[in-house]
Structure 1
């Protein structure tokens, strides 16, 4: 239909029309909307015979060709009847962090799922990466999704094969919340192999898209979609990405927007992690688990990751003097107390006292007036 339905002054209808007529993230369209108003721009770009001067030489035919046969009022009614909704800037559910995109801000968002998008986005993290991921990458992404969900974070990704799917599934397996931002209409199942996952996301989480229902994905739309993932979340984690991976655009956009960018390192010999390693060289934060991510994106001082340390052994619990006395004993043979005192740099009585401590703990044994280490495997089963 033409743009006559937009003369009534309904901004929502105008934004629905623009979601069909323009490509996502077109900064020129965003500037026109800011300067002339969304209703005027939607009417101008969809009505035959209108050639507004602000187009600046851009052909209006392409816009009108996409508008042909599209009834925004009917499309909105049909979508809402199916349980979906269209969220506009300025409305209560609109995530205001998307306004950081400036003129590249979405004209609106088509949403499937009952949770409140704005509230979920307040505590969200993006987990993205390669479609053709390795078993290592899928394992890490799934663990991140589950770990973040267990900590109350919303996992945001793109529902693609590989890392995206693993992150979504990890969050769902942990009984957590997850959001998929699509590069097509929310009524389309893409990729087809993820039909079951996308169905679960619609039922248990949220599906979000800029493009009107029925719109198909394309290479450029995936890249444009990534800016929404970056802007919507508190930070972006990249798990496995080659040097030309599209997921790196999400991290770069996140950095430009002042969000936290993170990367999971992989084998230095893996081309599938080369992009992540370059991202880390450029200043992204190294993370190896959900605790690290939560510490970086969470409240200062409230979401600290536990300090990384190796396992504590029985020997680690010895006092410094007792450890020094133990170190003084030779690996083979026995020695007297005077020898231990001299080698450990302690007084003889002090050395003897520590030797008896070590005896009670099962580290040494006494042979007459001489001392020796207990052979490996024969230590006393003392728990302390």
Structure 2
């Protein structure tokens, strides 16, 4: 679809549509995001009608206690038209559930009513950029890591992000220094698409040193936030932002992260939201990779050394066409007893060997050896020829089904 930058045009241009857009703008500011209670009030109590929900909040009519509390400080301040005018002046738009480009599938998968802190989806997304956000539903991978990235970390990030972007993945990150910035730049460098998710209004370049990078991202992807224009960054907003980075992506890759870091917070959200989580190993002496090693050691993340590792799990059924693996691929010898395995190891790598020689090599009695060879032959692992016993593959025979 074509991306329109005028808020009135985005709403369809009619008064009713623009009224709904203003209501969404009001609701996105009236409570500090994320706010599961407000979303439930809109969707369950008012059937998804933002106009009715906004009117109830303004009039303080029949509000659940949680909604009344969350909106108490801001309900009387309605600057929705100002916000829409400002986002339009930036060439941006407010993307809502009324929009064709709303990433419906991704936001539906947020639903975490029992998770603390709040893991609910955004009310709306304030967006500057050319990318249709519906693209996030297919091939989107988050790449996150430390701000104090090492040369190794930046190199690995660039390789991963560049290769993924070249395969038409949208690279998602948080526009911070270090790994985030390297991921965005690498995606742009190959002509790919990238999305920066901010913990402040999209009218603010944060960090300031990435103002130019953020402009380039908007020209070739999107800069977005659940926070309206003018909202300043804060620690709690970075933690809330991390759930969007993980939740709007199919997989999250942690390149470098200390034991206590924002990247591990994002990894935690990926786990809770049942997204794929991968981690890049680093030098064992590197504190910057300690968090990655912890994720791998605790079997919380898959190993990622290149883009193919990510593409095995991320995207529609995995970009390489394989279903996600629950563990290492099974080996033909899995399930053999100790005696059968010893006899299998006694088979020659080339040529053939008599059962007596195999018995001596394996240190197993001849009767047990003969019984084990029969099992191996039945399982397609061994083959009897005129010269003796041999590995099935060594005599050019395909293993037979067991």
What is the TM-score normalised by the length of structure 1?
0.71
Within a 5 Å distance, the mapping from 1:3-152 to structure 2 comes to: 10-37=19-46, 38-46=50-58, 50=60, 52-56=62-66, 58=69, 60-64=71-75, 68=77, 70-96=78-104, 97-102=106-111, 104-152=120-168
Question: Shift in Å at residue 210 of structure 1?
Answer: 0.5
Structure 2 CA distance for partners of 1:300 and 1:161, relative to 1, 3 Å: same
Within a 5 Å distance, the mapping from 1:229-378 to structure 2 comes to: 229-280=245-296, 281-300=298-317, 303=320
The question of whether the paired residues in 2 share the 8 Å contact of 1:21 and 1:46 is answered with no
Question: Shift in Å at residue 268 of structure 1?
Answer: 2.3
Mapped partners of 2:219, 2:192: distance in 1: 13
User: What secondary structure does 2:191 align onto?
Assistant: coil
User: What secondary structure does 2:313 align onto?
Assistant: helix
The question of whether the paired residues in 1 share the 8 Å contact of 2:171 and 2:194 is answered with yes
Question: Shift in Å at residue 80 of structure 1?
Answer: 2.4
Question: Shift in Å at residue 174 of structure 1?
Answer: 1.4
Mapped partners of 1:23, 1:60: distance in 2: 8
User: What secondary structure does 2:144 align onto?
Assistant: strand
How far does the alpha carbon of each residue in 1:318-340 deviate from its partner, in whole angstroms, 9 at most, with x for none?
A: xx879xxxxxxxxxxxxxxxxxx
Mapped partners of 2:180, 2:237: distance in 1: 16
RMSD: 2.5
Which one is further off, 267-276 or 173-182?
A: 267-276
How far does the alpha carbon of each residue in 1:156-211 deviate from its partner, in whole angstroms, 9 at most, with x for none?
A: 10101111000001111112111111111111100001111111111222111111
Structure 2 CA distance for partners of 1:174 and 1:60, relative to 1, 3 Å: closer
Structure 2 CA distance for partners of 1:118 and 1:61, relative to 1, 3 Å: same
Which one is further off, 170-179 or 294-303?
A: 294-303
Structure 2 CA distance for partners of 1:237 and 1:60, relative to 1, 3 Å: closer
Within a 5 Å distance, the mapping from 1:198-213 to structure 2 comes to: 198-213=214-229
User: What secondary structure does 2:73 align onto?
Assistant: helix
Question: Shift in Å at residue 71 of structure 1?
Answer: 2.3
The question of whether the paired residues in 1 share the 8 Å contact of 2:139 and 2:316 is answered with no
Structure 2 CA distance for partners of 1:170 and 1:120, relative to 1, 3 Å: same
Structure 2 CA distance for partners of 1:266 and 1:213, relative to 1, 3 Å: same
How far does the alpha carbon of each residue in 1:335-371 deviate from its partner, in whole angstroms, 9 at most, with x for none?
A: xxxxxxxxxxxxxxxxxxxxxxxxxxxxxxxxxxxxx
User: What secondary structure does 2:29 align onto?
Assistant: helix
Larger Rg computed on CA atoms: 1
Mapped partners of 1:302, 1:153: distance in 2: 10
The number of residue pairs the alignment matches comes to 297
Are 2:193 and 1:181 aligned? no
Structure 2 CA distance for partners of 1:51 and 1:114, relative to 1, 3 Å: same
User: What secondary structure does 1:23 align onto?
Assistant: coil
Corresponding residue of 1:5: none
Mapped partners of 1:28, 1:80: distance in 2: 29
Question: Shift in Å at residue 41 of structure 1?
Answer: 3.7
Question: Shift in Å at residue 138 of structure 1?
Answer: 1.2
Structure 2 CA distance for partners of 1:270 and 1:304, relative to 1, 3 Å: farther
Mapped partners of 1:192, 1:77: distance in 2: 23
Corresponding residue of 2:206: 190
Question: Shift in Å at residue 115 of structure 1?
Answer: 2.1
User: What secondary structure does 1:179 align onto?
Assistant: strand
Question: Shift in Å at residue 299 of structure 1?
Answer: 4.9
Structure 2 CA distance for partners of 1:59 and 1:294, relative to 1, 3 Å: closer
The one of 215, 226, 229 aligned to 2:242: 226
Structure 2 CA distance for partners of 1:174 and 1:225, relative to 1, 3 Å: same
The question of whether the paired residues in 1 share the 8 Å contact of 2:313 and 2:319 is answered with no
Question: Shift in Å at residue 53 of structure 1?
Answer: 4.3
